[in-house]
């Protein structure tokens, strides 16, 4: 079952296509992250899915409804929520009043107490909106989005500007939503957050998908390397293992096969009659993989983990985005 099933979407604002016949699927109850550089087409796609922007061509089903159809859109508004990066709220209303008013727009809203508890803002229920801190304000945005018990939630940079504790709380909240069956579409430039939360990631560039998969699949399939490092051994006269470089007193080797590098380093040390100390092995992160992907184009080391447009989506069961023929 897909919460979102969009095929062959094109968008032309009048100066040529910015989305080139792309397809995008999000299974129900998953957290899907949409990544891409500035101007890639993320907002355009998301707004088409939300029904806030028309498409030039293609088919879109969101919760089984067409957001481009006026009647379907009216129903969708009661079943999905959007949390934008910045929201305008009346500064002189209290948290409680703003939530009460918002609840009146939905057929079966959560109670104000319940939703405040969910976002851990209960102690601020009587506070005015203008008196909230940035993190508290972000939690109020989420509370508003959750009030209508959405089946689908679009979240734009949910934790930007928050302190680490607030960030962790919001991430836990989002993960909890998924666990209770809500589908979440996340746009974030914080790839640690994406790696932690997302069940699947789709990367868009210049209006086409260039990679799709789980965070692990994208990391494994990328051109990003594991970094093997150890302290520069004494008494080796500046000699280093093959492929190594010296960086700030540490010997560094970049590899996509850490086991054979570690083996090679061990036998090198034996031959040199020295000991390896301070060995660290740091696997690539989604951040590394993403940067490699954007800088190198769509090429990767593991075919099938990602690919261009249609092939990436079609060949791997975990994948969902691509360009349809
Ligand atoms: N209203 C508009 N009129 C004309 N062109 C637009 C409009 N909105 C977006 N575009 C163009 O469409 C392309 C995709 O823009 P979009 O905002 O979807 O990218 P994005 O991936 O969300 O970027 P960012 O990360 O910077 O927000 C860009 O070339 C942009 O200039």
Query: What is the model's pLDDT at position 88?
Result: 82
Q: Are residues 268 and 180 in the same domain?
A: no
Which of 184, 204, 180 minimizes the C-alpha distance to 196?
A: 184
Say if ligand 1 is within 6 A of residue 224 CB: no
**Predicted confidence (pLDDT) per residue in 16-71, tens digit:** 999 999 999 999 999 999 999 999 999 999 999 999 999 999 999 999 999 999 99
Q: Which atom of ligand 1 lies at the shortest distance from residue 13's CA? A: 4
Our measurement of the distance from residue 188's CA atom to the centroid of its chain's CA atoms, rounded to an integer in Å, reads: 5
CA 41–ligand 1 middle distance (angstroms): 6
**Is residue 113 very low, low, confident or very high in pLDDT (cuts 50, 70, 90)?**
very high
Choice among 44-48, 231-235, 304-308 with the minimum mean pLDDT: 304-308
Predicted-complex ipTM score? 0.98
Q: Are residues 240 and 138 in the same domain?
A: no
pTM score > 0.80 for this model?
yes
Identify whether 290 is part of a domain: no
Q: Which atom of ligand 1 lies at the shortest distance from residue 11's CA? A: 12
| Percent share of the chain, pLDDT over 70 | 91
Q: Are residues 193 and 240 in the same domain?
A: no
Query: What is the model's pLDDT at position 311?
Result: 27
Say if ligand 1 is within 6 A of residue 16 CB: no
Identify whether 124 is part of a domain: yes
Q: Average pLDDT, whole number, for the chain?
A: 88
Residue 268 reports pLDDT greater than 70 = yes
**Predicted confidence (pLDDT) per residue in 201-212, tens digit:** 999 999 999 999
**Is residue 135 very low, low, confident or very high in pLDDT (cuts 50, 70, 90)?**
confident
Query: What is the model's pLDDT at position 299?
Result: 41
Identify whether 269 is part of a domain: yes
Q: Which atom of ligand 1 lies at the shortest distance from residue 14's CA? A: 4
Residue 321 reports pLDDT greater than 70 = no
**Is residue 176 very low, low, confident or very high in pLDDT (cuts 50, 70, 90)?**
very high
CA 238–ligand 1 middle distance (angstroms): 52
Residue 277 reports pLDDT greater than 50 = yes
Say if ligand 1 is within 6 A of residue 104 CB: no
Query: What is the model's pLDDT at position 297?
Result: 64
Number of domains making up the chain:
2
Q: Are residues 24 and 162 in the same domain?
A: yes
Query: What is the model's pLDDT at position 107?
Result: 86
Identify whether 236 is part of a domain: yes
Q: Are residues 147 and 110 in the same domain?
A: yes
Query: What is the model's pLDDT at position 319?
Result: 32
**What mean pLDDT do residues 266-278 have?**
92
**Is residue 314 very low, low, confident or very high in pLDDT (cuts 50, 70, 90)?**
very low
Identify whether 65 is part of a domain: yes
CA 210–ligand 1 middle distance (angstroms): 18
Q: Are residues 43 and 161 in the same domain?
A: yes
Residue 177 reports pLDDT greater than 50 = yes
| CA neighbours closer than 13 Å in the CB half-sphere of residue 324 | 15
Q: Are residues 9 and 91 in the same domain?
A: yes
Q: Are residues 61 and 35 in the same domain?
A: yes
Say if ligand 1 is within 6 A of residue 220 CB: no
| Burial of residue 37 (number of CB atoms within 10 Å: 0-12, 13-18, 19+) | middle
Q: Residue 313 is part of a domain; what is its CATH number? A: 3.40.50.300
Positive or negative: CA dihedral 173, 151, 310, 51: negative
Q: Which atom of ligand 1 lies at the shortest distance from residue 204's CA? A: 21
**What mean pLDDT do residues 285-302 have?**
75
Residue 315 reports pLDDT greater than 80 = no
Per-residue b or e along 68-104, where b marks 16 or more CB atoms closer than 10 Å to that residue's CB: beeebbeebbbbbbbbeeeeebeeeebbebbbeebbe
Q: Are residues 204 and 159 in the same domain?
A: yes
Query: What is the model's pLDDT at position 317?
Result: 30
Residue 251 reports pLDDT greater than 90 = yes
| Percent share of the chain, pLDDT over 90 | 70
Q: Which among 9, 11, 16, 41 is the best mutation to test ligand 1's pocket, defined by most ligand atoms within 8 Å of the CB? A: 41
Q: Are residues 116 and 212 in the same domain?
A: yes
**What mean pLDDT do residues 235-262 have?**
90
Q: Are residues 235 and 172 in the same domain?
A: no
CA 295–ligand 1 middle distance (angstroms): 20
Residue 86 reports pLDDT greater than 80 = no
Instruction: Tell me the β-bridge partners of 167.
Output: none
Identify whether 307 is part of a domain: yes
Q: Please give the residue range of the domain that contains residue 192.
A: 2-220+299-323
Residue 195 reports pLDDT greater than 60 = yes
Q: Are residues 81 and 128 in the same domain?
A: yes
- Which residue's CA is the closest to the ligand 1 atom numbered 7? 13
Say if ligand 1 is within 6 A of residue 36 CB: yes
**Is residue 304 very low, low, confident or very high in pLDDT (cuts 50, 70, 90)?**
very low
Identify whether 134 is part of a domain: yes
Identify whether 313 is part of a domain: yes
**What mean pLDDT do residues 288-304 have?**
66
């Amino acid at each position: 079952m897909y919460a979102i099933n969009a095929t062959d979407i094109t968008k032309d604002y009048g100066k040529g296509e910015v989305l080139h016949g792309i397809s995008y699927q999000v299974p129900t109850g998953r957290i899907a992250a949409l990544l891409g550089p500035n101007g890639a087409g993320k907002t355009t796609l998301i707004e088409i899915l939300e029904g806030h922007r028309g498409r030039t061509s293609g088919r879109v089903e969101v919760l089984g409804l067409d957001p481009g159809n006026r009647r379907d859109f009216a129903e969708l508004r009661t079943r999905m929520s959007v949390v934008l990066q910045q929201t305008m709220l009346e500064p002189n209303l209290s948290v409680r009043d703003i939530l009460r008013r918002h609840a009146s727009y939905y057929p079966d809203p959560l109670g104000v107490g319940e939703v405040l508890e969910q976002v851990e803002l209960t102690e601020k229920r009587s506070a005015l909106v203008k008196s909230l801190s940035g993190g508290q304000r972000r939690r109020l945005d989420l509370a508003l989005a959750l009030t209508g018990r959405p089946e689908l939630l679009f979240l734009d940079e949910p934790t930007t500007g928050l302190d680490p504790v607030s960030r962790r709380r919001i991430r836990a909240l989002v993960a909890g939503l998924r666990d209770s069956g809500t589908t979440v579409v996340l746009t974030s430039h914080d790839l640690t957050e994406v790696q932690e939360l997302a069940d699947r990631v789709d990367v868009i560039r210049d209006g086409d998908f260039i990679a799709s998969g789980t965070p692990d699949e994208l990391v494994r399939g990328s051109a990003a390397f594991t970094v093997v490092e150890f302290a520069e051994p004494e008494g080796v006269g500046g000699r280093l293992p093959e492929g190594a470089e010296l960086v700030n007193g540490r010997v560094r080797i970049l590899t996509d096969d850490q086991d054979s590098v570690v083996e090679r380093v061990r036998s090198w040390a034996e031959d040199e009659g020295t000991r390896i100390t301070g060995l660290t092995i740091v696997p690539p992160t989604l951040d590394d993989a993403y940067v490699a992907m954007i800088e190198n184009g769509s090429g990767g080391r593991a075919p099938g983990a990602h690919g261009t447009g249609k092939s990436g989506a079609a060949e791997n069961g975990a994948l969902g985005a691509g360009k349809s023929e």
